[in-house]
Amino acid sequence: MPTPIPPPAINGADTAWMMAATALVLLMTPALAFFYGGLVRSKNALNTMMMSFAALAAVGLAWALAGYSLAFGDGGPLLGGVGHLLLRGVGLEAHGTLPHLLFMAYQGTFAIITAALISGAVVERMRFGPYVAFITLWSLAVYAPVCHWVWGGGWLGTLGAIDFAGGTVVHVNAGAAALVAAAVLGPRRDYGRQALLPHNVPFVLLGGALLWFGWFGFNAGSALAANATAGLAFTNTLLAPIATLAVWMALDRLRTRKTTAVGAATGIVVGLVAITPAAGYVGPMAALVLGAIAAFPSYYAILWRSRTRLDDSLDVTAAHGVGGLVGALLTGVLASAVWGGKDGLLAGNPGQLARQAAAVAATLLYSGTASFALLKLIGAFVPLRAERRQESLGLDVPQHGEEAYTSGEGAILVLPEPVTPAASPVPAAVAGAIGGAGGVAGGGVSRARAAGSRA
Amino acid sequence: MKLIVAVVRPEKLSEVLEALFKAEVRGLTISRAQGHGGETEQVETYRGSTVKMELVDKVRLDIGVSDPFVEITVEAILRSARTGEVGDGKIFVLPVERAIRIRTGEEDLAAVTPAQ
C-alpha cells in the first residue's frame, strides 16, 4: 500500500469506498469468532468467541493510543515515530486521497484481526486475562513494527518486497506467533487422547462466509482508492478462493471419499490468505492458479500437524502461516507490471522472489522471537494456562461466568440484597414467596425444593 | 445379575468408558442428566441477572451385569470417574428381576453376557 505522491486532495469516491471497506474488515473479527467458535467444544464456545471480540477492545484501543503512530508515524526503517501518539495530528487532512483519520481507522481493523487470528492456537486452555495482555502487547511490539517495515516506509518496503494487503504483515506474522504460542502453552490435556470435535459446523461455515465477505474490504480496500487496482484486487478475492475451494474439496474427496464442510470453510480461508499479498499485482488467471496451488501446502500441513504434539488447535499456522508464506512467494512469481505492480519471476524478474522470501523470513524470525519473549514475560507474572479442573470443565463458566447453551433448568435467580438492614428473616420469606409465584426460586428453602423435585 | 446405575461428570465420561472397555464391560446405556450432589453452586451472570446453577450436567450410565462383573464394573467406574472434588457422582447397584435380549429372546445371564 504505497502512499501516492504528490498527495492530491481528498477524493469523494475513494473516501466512500474506504468507509465501506473499513466496515467490511471490521466484520472479519466477529466472523473469525464464529469460525473459531464453531470449531471448539461447546464448553469453550464463548471463551473462544470472546478471544476475537476482546481484540476489538484491547487491540483497537492500543492502536488508537500508540499502535498507529508506531506503524505509520514518521520514523526510521525499523519503527515508526511517536508523532501520532494519542492520534495527535490525525485529522481531516488528506492522507493520499483519504481523510487521514479514515486511513488510521482502516489500518486499525487490520491490527485487530491479525491479533485475533493468533487465538486459534491457544483456545480451550489459555486464561483470558493473560491472553488479552498478550495480544495487546503483541499488537504494539510485533504487529506495529512489521506493518511499518512493509507499509509504513520501513526497510522491507524500501527493499522492494511487495505485500498488497498483508500476506506477510498479517498472515505470516500471525501464523508465526500462533506457532510459538501453541508451543509455549503446550497441548490441551485431552489433545491426542480424546477426539476433540467441532461443536457447531454451521458456525464454521457461517464464519468462513462472513470472512470472505469482509475480505473484499481487506484486499480491495488495500488499494486505498476506488480505482481499477481496487477492482482487480476485488476480482482476485473472488477468484482465488474459488480455486482453492475447488481443489480442497477434490483433495478431501480423493483422500476420504467425502467432501467435508469444515474442509470447505478452511479451504476458503486458505485461498483468501494466499491471494492477500498478490491481490492487486496479479491478473485473474494468475489468481486462479495461485489459489489452486495454495490449497496443497496448507492441506497437507494440517494433516501433518494433527499427528504431532503441536496443539495449534485451530491450525492457524497451517492456514495463515503456510497460506501467507505461499501467497507471498507466489506473488514474487506471478506478479506482472501489466497489472499495475511489479514484475515477478515469470515476467523475467527473479529478484522479486528473493525479496519476497526475505520479507517472509524476516517476519517469521521477528514475530516468532518477539512472541516467545512476550509470552515468557507475561508468564513470569501470571500463569498462562487455566487450571486443570477449569480446562476439563470448559473455560466458559470459570472464565466468563456464562454458558453458551443453557436450558436454564436449575438456574436460581440471586435476588439483590434487601435495602433494609437487620431484617434477614423477612426478606428470605419474601424471596421464597417470589420464587414460588414466579417460578424463580431463591433462598435455602426453595433450593431444597428445586433439588428434591428432581431427585 | 445386577443393574449398575452410575452418575458421573460429563468431562470424565471418556475416561470411564475407556476403563469399562478395558474391564471388558461392553454393554451399557448412557444418558445426559442434570443433578445436584451438594457441590458448590456455580454462579453465572447474564446482564443484570445473577444466577446460581443448582443443577449440574451429569452423565448417567446404566449397565446390566452378571454377579461376577459387579465388583469389576464398580471398581472401574470408581477409578476413572474420581477427581476428589464434591460432585464426582454416585454408583448404585440394584437387583434385577429379569433381563431379556430382544434380538434372540435370551434371558437373564445369557442376556447380559456380551454377544460373541
DSSP code string of A23-40: HHHHHHHHHHHHHHHHHS
Helices (H), A186-277: 201-220, 228-256, 261-275
Whether A411 and B42 lie within 8 Å, measured CB to CB: no
Query: In chain B, which among 15-34 make CB contacts under 8 A with chain A?
Result: 34
* Count of A-B CB contacts under 8 Å: 57
In the structure, what pLDDT confidence band is assigned to residue B45 with cuts at 50, 70 and 90?
Answer: confident
A389-394 long-range contacts (CB < 8 A, ≥24 apart) are: A389/B83, A389/B85, A391/A124, A391/A125, A391/A188, A391/A189, A392/A189, A392/A190, A392/B11, A392/B12, A393/A43, A393/B11, A394/A41, A394/A42, A394/A43, A394/A44, A394/A47, A394/A124, A394/B11
How many angstroms away from the CA of A132 is the closest CA of chain B? 21
Q: Among residues of chain B, what percentage have pLDDT more than 90?
A: 61
Tell me the residue length of chain A.
455
Specify the higher pLDDT residue, A138 or B35. Answer: A138
pLDDT at A441: 38
Which member of A190, A403, A410 has the closest CB to residue B55?
A: A410
Which residues of chain A does B54 touch, with a Cβ-Cβ cutoff of 8 Å? Answer: 410-412, 447, 450-451
Which residues neighbour A9 within 8 Å (Cβ) at sequence distance 6 or greater? Answer: A94, A97
Render pLDDT for B52-70 as a digit per residue (tens, 0 to 9). Answer: 888 888 999 999 999 999 9
Which residues of chain B does A412 touch, with a Cβ-Cβ cutoff of 8 Å? Answer: 41, 51-54
Supply the ipTM of this predicted assembly: 0.80
Kindly write down the DSSP assignment for every residue of A375-427, as one continuous string.
HHHHHHHS-SBPPHHHHHH-SIIIIIS--SS---TTEEE-PPPPSSSS-THHH
Is the bond preceding residue A383 a cis peptide, omega within 30 degrees? no
Which residues of chain A does B55 touch, with a Cβ-Cβ cutoff of 8 Å? Answer: 409-410, 450-451, 454
Which member of B34, B35, B43 has the closest CB to residue A401?
A: B43
Whether A412 and B45 lie within 8 Å, measured CB to CB: no
How many angstroms away from the CA of B108 is the closest CA of chain A? 29
The Cα A166–Cα A320 span in angstroms is 11
Whether B55 and A403 lie within 8 Å, measured CB to CB: no
Per-residue pLDDT of chain A (455 residues; tens, 9 = 90+): 655 555 569 999 999 999 999 999 999 999 999 999 999 999 999 999 999 999 999 999 999 999 999 999 998 999 999 999 999 999 999 999 999 999 999 999 999 999 999 999 999 999 999 999 999 999 999 999 999 999 999 999 999 999 999 999 999 999 999 999 999 999 999 998 888 999 999 999 999 999 999 999 999 999 999 999 999 999 999 999 999 999 999 999 999 999 999 999 999 999 999 999 999 999 999 999 999 999 999 999 999 999 999 999 999 999 999 999 999 999 999 999 999 889 999 999 999 999 999 999 999 999 999 999 999 999 999 999 999 989 999 999 999 999 999 888 888 888 877 666 554 444 444 444 444 333 333 344 344 334 333 33
Whether A409 and B11 lie within 8 Å, measured CB to CB: no
- Chain B residue closest in CA terms to A42: B11
- Whether the CB of B87 is below 8 Å from some CB of chain A: the reply is no
Interface probe, candidates B16, B40, B55, chain A, greatest A C-beta count within 10 A = B55
The Cα A146–Cα A46 span in angstroms is 31
pTM for this model (two decimals): 0.87
Comparing CA positions, the residue from A276, A292, A370 lying closest to residue A325 is A276
Instruction: Give the CB-side neighbour count of residue A76, counting CA atoms within 13 A.
Output: 2
Q: Which three cell numbers stand for residue A383?
A: 500463569
Is the pLDDT confidence value at B74 over 60? yes
Residue A186 burial (CB count, 10 A): 15
Which residues of chain B does A188 touch, with a Cβ-Cβ cutoff of 8 Å? Answer: none
The Cα A147–Cα A165 span in angstroms is 11
pLDDT at A444: 40
- Whether the CB of B104 is below 8 Å from some CB of chain A: the reply is no
Whether B53 and A411 lie within 8 Å, measured CB to CB: yes
Angle made by CA atoms A390, A393, A395, in degrees to the nearest 5: 60
Render pLDDT for A18-51 as a digit per residue (tens, 0 to 9). Answer: 999 999 999 999 999 999 999 999 999 999 999 9
Which member of B14, B35, B52 has the closest CB to residue A414?
A: B52
